[in-house]
Amino acid sequence: MAITTRYFLAAAVTCSRALLLCALFSLVRPSSGNSKVLTATNITWSSINFKTLLRWEPEPTDYSYTVEIDGEGLDRKKTCVDITKTECDVTKVLKNVKDTYTARIYSVMRHREDDYDTPPYELSPKFTPYSQTEIGIPTVEYFEQNNGILRVVVKDPLTPYRFNNGSFQSIRDIFVDDLEYTLNYWKDQSTGKKTATTKSNQFEIKIDRGENYCFYVQAVIPSRSLNRTSQESMVSCTSKKRDELDALGLDAILIIAGSTVGILILIIILSVIIYKCTKSKHAIKEKEHVPLNI
């Protein structure tokens, strides 16, 4: 009887120790949400013309990251697997630009003993490319001023997405009629601005004949409440001479002006010297023809 009692006591002690070790091991092992050091923070989406990057912190030390994208119309899809960077290009995964996506950023420990438990992760904010991607700076492809008409042609920015023939889609191919351009224009050296809008990428504006005009364009998505307008394009002017001067730096303009003034002064000095020399020659000749007084 004593032997049996001792046996059960020893077994109980052994089981207690095993349970204690398991409990301690479960506390030490990383699990979802209990290791803030290993999970991503400051997760942001950065998207211009539908090229989309996911960024976060901190830099990994003894672990790596794996990104998983989940959409309303997309089954979860992993991308940027086992990376040590804090940036992931997710453009190719977000092909349905009107879908709303969420990213899971997993922090995966190195040399894991098993793959049964879900690694710790953090969720990104939701992102809808169609309503949130920023529109890049538009480019003026061509402009002219003729017979009181200012004509401006804007080049639609390209996206990373391609047609079946391999050519890149433009933002107009995606936004269609939801894309507009705004032209801000004014008489050169004037502060009064006027605005025109078009659903196409071309402007034809009536202007005063004989006047030079300057302008810039912006892309607009009217359906949006945020990020409605792009940044402004470079300012262009219809006077080529004016554009050339604007392109020069202040130092270059001062050098040109100084050189011009110097040349003018040199011309004046030479003219005066030539004039005096010519006048002296005429005076000498007149003296030679004057009869001597006897």
Residue 244 has pLDDT above 60, yes or no: no
> pLDDT for 9-52, tens place per residue?
455 545 555 554 444 444 444 434 444 447 999 999 999 999 99
For residue 55, give the nearest of 82, 92, 90 by alpha carbon.
90
C-alpha distances out from residue 233 to 122, 124, 129, 176, Å: 38, 32, 23, 21
| Residue bearing the bigger pLDDT, 223 or 15 | 223
What letter represents residue 135's amino acid? I
What mean pLDDT do residues 147-171 have? 94
Q: What are phi and psi of 103, to 5 degrees?
A: -110, 140
Whether 31 and 117 have beta carbons less than 8 Å apart is answered as yes
pTM tops 0.85, yes or no = no
Residue 271 has pLDDT above 70, yes or no: yes
Q: 139-238 — its CATH code? A: 2.60.40.10
What mean pLDDT do residues 114-127 have? 83
Residue 180 has pLDDT above 80, yes or no: yes
Q: How confident is the model at residue 3 (pLDDT cuts 50, 70, 90)?
A: very low
**To which CATH superfamily is domain 31-132 assigned?**
Immunoglobulins (2.60.40.10)
